[in-house]
């Protein structure tokens, strides 16, 4: 990309080379660091964008002390007032939507529309959080003892650790941080080392709001190594909740370490998402949903469509139409409005895709379309591939795994019971969908014996969840829930209260315990 264009994007977001890797929020909150440097490379052309000075253990300790002090006073701010602060953040995001969307595209390889769409998701969750600030409800219960009142209330939890992945460098932060601060918590944000500039941009965008409300130490961000930052976060009893997004292997490690100290985890891990296509499905809708789900973000979403379980009677028609649709996907520079699929994140992702395709062929599968490295004129050092369609069996070991790349497995079935069984026979359980014209098939898919995923859709794809619903999955996806519905509760602690407003002391269950 042109250096002048990159410089314009970075300058509009207050990013300069070299950047500090730790801040406690406001315009004066950056901590000078003297550790190693991290270079952010663009997958568009494989070239460096800017350098970041990694934070060290001392910077981590400074941020934790700052966060603890800030939390002690911030938790007493009325929740609606915290909501007003988030409203101001929402307005700042609206002002910077285009620039931040461009940086996301530059640093992750998402197409520009997806980058701006992610910022819109931040805006949406901010608006949701503003309303939530007046709806942190508890319950009242009837006591079995006379002249007693029982109720429950929710208190801020403390410091929330937020560990994000490269593929959604902004939205996942917003899902967690904006709900957590409305609940009265402080946050410590550790972004992916592949997207440090986007994290710095977030802090720059919200800094004037932090200054306005005097909440230094509530929105903390740190970019550092596993040794200096990652391990201390997981082992730190001052962080009661770690919200981590990433691979299943990473989540198992996070869960074990945090669980050892009896801390809480919110895990959003791998997906192996499938769409069941019945013979009475609307094929136009099914093809469009499959294309978006499998090719969007170059197959690097946790909700990407990875398996199509298609009824045998319509398999040939579906595959031929899908291949024709794939041939029309323009692959290239994600900053170009005509591009539908940008690059993979790096050379390692390309190698993983190559290995998966070799494995599926060794296990008996057949590549029906794509799977090659793609050359994009002017961006020869970028990480471009053609999306692959592969005929496979559900039991193949490689099909049972999540490959973070645009590989779509085609699997046949005869009966709906068989389709649901195939659907559920993977270790992951994030997102799922069925395309059907039958109410019976729809309801069976949504019933207790249907999809075992945290998200189950009918006649829409696996990708593109709305913020109003709780997002997350089961099994090796980790069991966490973020975003909408009552996901806010994970950022708070529940307290049951009983008040005796009488002058006697009756004991529960009618127990007599008298002292003469």
* Residue in the block written with tokens 């994290």: 199
Of the candidates 268, 402, 476, 482, the residue annotated as catalytic is 268
* Cα–Cα distance for residue pair 29/326, rounded to 1 Å: 48
The one catalytic residue in 302, 412, 453, 482 is 302
Query: Which tokens is 147 given?
Result: 């002249």
Distances (CA, A) of 258 to 237, 252, 262: 9, 10, 6
Residues with Cβ within 8 Å of 263's Cβ and at least 6 positions away in sequence, in order, are 237, 239, 240, 241, 242
Residue 302 is a catalytic residue:
yes
Residues 218, 273: Cα–Cα separation, whole Å: 36
DSSP of 185-239: -EEEEE--TT-HHHHHHHHHHHHHHHHHHT-TTTEEEE-B-IIIIIHHHHH-TT-
- Per-residue DSSP letter, 410: E
Q: What are phi and psi of 144, to 5 degrees?
A: -80, -10
Which residue, among 262, 267, 199, 269, has the nearest Cα to 236 in the 3D structure?
262
Burial of 158 (0-12, 13-18, 19+ CB in 10 A): buried
Q: What CA–CA distance (Å, rounded) separates 428 from 319?
A: 25
| DSSP conformation class of 430 | S
Residue 458 backbone dihedrals phi, psi, to 5 degrees: -125, 120
CA 514, CA 305: separation in Å to the nearest integer?
66
Residue 152's alpha-carbon distances to 74, 184, 489, in angstroms, are 22, 17, 13
Active site residue 170: no
The whole-angstrom distance between residue 450's C-alpha and the CA centroid of its chain comes to 25
Identify the residue whose tokens are 């603890």.
68
Q: What angle do CA 168, 20, 26 make, to 5 degrees?
A: 80
Q: What is the DSSP string of 287-311?
A: HHHHHHHHHGGGG-STT-EEEEEEE
Catalytic residues: 268, 302
């Amino acid at each position: 990309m042109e250096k002048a264009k990159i410089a314009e994007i970075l300058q509009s977001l207050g990013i300069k080379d070299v950047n500090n890797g730790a801040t406690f929020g406001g315009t004066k909150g950056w901590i000078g660091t003297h550790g190693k440097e991290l270079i952010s490379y663009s997958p568009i052309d494989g070239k460096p964008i800017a350098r970041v000075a990694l934070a060290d253990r001392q910077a981590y300790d400074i941020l934790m002390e700052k966060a603890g002090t800030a939390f002690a006073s911030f938790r007493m701010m009325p929740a609606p007032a915290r909501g007003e602060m988030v409203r101001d953040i929402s307005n700042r995001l609206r002002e910077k939507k285009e620039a931040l969307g461009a940086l996301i595209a530059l640093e992750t390889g998402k197409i520009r529309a997806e980058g701006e769409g992610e910022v819109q998701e931040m805006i949406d969750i901010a608006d949701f959080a503003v309303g939530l600030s007046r709806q942190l409800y508890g319950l009242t219960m009837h006591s079995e003892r006379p002249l007693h009142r029982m109720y429950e209330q929710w208190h801020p939890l403390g410091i929330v650790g937020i560990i994000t992945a490269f593929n959604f460098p902004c939205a996942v932060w917003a899902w967690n941080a904006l709900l957590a601060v409305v609940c009265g918590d402080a946050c410590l944000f550790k972004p992916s080392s592949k997207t440090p500039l986007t994290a710095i941009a977030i802090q720059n965008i919200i800094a004037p709001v932090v200054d306005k409300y005097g909440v230094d130490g509530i929105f903390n961000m740190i970019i550092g190594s596993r040794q200096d930052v990652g391990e201390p976060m997981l082992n730190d009893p001052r962080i009661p909740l770690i919200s981590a997004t990433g691979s299943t292997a990473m989540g198992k490690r996070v869960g074990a370490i945090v669980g050892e100290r009896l801390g809480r985890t919110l895990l959003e891990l791998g997906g192996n998402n499938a769409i069941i296509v019945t013979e009475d499905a609307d094929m136009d809708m099914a093809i469009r949903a499959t294309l978006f789900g499998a090719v969007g973000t170059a197959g690097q979403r946790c909700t990407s469509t990875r398996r199509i379980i298609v009824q045998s009677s319509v398999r040939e028609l579906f595959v031929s139409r899908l291949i024709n649709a794939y041939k029309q996907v323009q692959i290239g520079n994600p900053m170009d409005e005509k591009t539908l699929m940008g690059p993979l994140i790096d050379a390692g992702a390309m190698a993983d895709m190559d290995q998966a395709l070799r494995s599926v062929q060794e296990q008996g599968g057949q590549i029906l379309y794509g799977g090659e490295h793609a050359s994009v004129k002017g961006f020869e050092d970028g990480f471009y591939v053609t999306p692959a369609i592969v005929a496979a069996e559900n039991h193949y070991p490689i099909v049972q795994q999540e490959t973070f790349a645009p590989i779509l497995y085609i699997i046949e079935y005869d009966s709906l019971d068989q389709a649901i069984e195939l659907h559920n026979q993977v270790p992951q359980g994030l997102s799922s969908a069925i395309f059907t014209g039958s109410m019976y098939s729809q309801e069976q898919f949504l019933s207790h014996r249907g999809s075992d995923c945290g998200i189950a859709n009918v006649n829409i794809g696996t990708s593109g969840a709305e913020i109003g619903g709780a997002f997350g999955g089961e099994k090796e996806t980790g069991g966490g829930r973020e975003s909408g519905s009552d996901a806010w509760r994970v950022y708070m602690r529940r307290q049951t209260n009983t008040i005796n407003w009488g002058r006697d002391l009756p004991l529960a269950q009618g127990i007599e315990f008298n002292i003469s």
